[in-house]
Amino acid sequence: MSSKIINIIKNSKEYSLEIAEHLKTELEKYGYKTTCEFDSEAELCISVGGDGSFLKSVRDNNFPQIPFIGVNTGTLGFYPELSPEDIDFFVREYIKGNYSLNKLNLLKGEIHSEKLKDEIYAINDISIKNEICKAIHLAVFIDDNHLQTISGDGVIISTPMGSSAYNYSAGGSLVYPSLNTMQITPIAPLISNAYRCLSSGVIVPPKTKIVIKPELDYIDSAVLCVDGESYIVNKLQKCDFFISEKTITILSLGTFNYWKVIKDKFL
């Protein structure tokens, strides 16, 4: 049953505030109650901003099962499907039920440090780098098999949806979202007589475990970046990565067309 409550989650930019107010006005014309505070009883969350705002709105509210859609007031706008000019059309189509719901599995990272074990989740990616902007040496294991040691700026573990973000900028491959894989991509790896590793990304199937271990000299300086936000870990010993059973739901007008999004945003 519809709760008639819709969360509008916006960034602090003036244009986003203006668009959020217009969205509020249109929805309330049709009897919806809108709130800028997260309401767990809401039937929909609308993010107003760019990709960073969309990811932050999902993460800050602990990956709720409420569907999300975004209005793009940023630059690229890969996740935010709607432009501000689409708002009136979106409201009419939403009321008619002309939309699809698409589940995305999250990336799970199990962090093991000297004093704690923690879990983190990401929509796009988790990267491991050196906090002091120097090269870092990271051993990569797939299902307990040592694959390589990456020496360079770090490594990215990405989801299929995240494959078009930082992973793509680092030279990784685009992966269709329904494949439900993980990708390991080195960041500016050192390739020389002294250091050898794969220079391209490696895509692994579901139910695979990826383990990243900083070499001993780097456990004090390794830092995690989770969907673009830093996560400091003291004395990181290793991080295990899995495809999580936890999901989020993306609402899309009509049927989500990945190839159209790729063409519109990148070509």
| C-beta separation of 87 from 46 below 8 A | no
Distance CA 75, CA 136 (A): 31
| DSSP-derived pairing of the beta strands 5-10 and 145-158 | unpaired
Coil, strand, or helix at residue 98? coil
Active site residue 125: no
Q: From the candidates 51, 125, 153, 227, which is the catalytic residue? A: 51
Distance CA 161, CA 72 (A): 17
Residue type, 145: N
Where in 36-180 does DSSP place strands (E)? 44-49, 68-72, 99-113, 117-122, 125-130, 136-142, 145-158
CA 203 from chain center: how many Å?
17
Half-sphere exposure of 92 (CA within 13 A, CB side): 4
Residue with tokens 């989740």: 121
Residue type, 89: F
| C-beta separation of 109 from 126 below 8 A | yes
Q: Is the dihedral of CA 34, 40, 46, 47 positive or negative?
A: positive
| C-beta separation of 212 from 29 below 8 A | no
Active site residues: 51
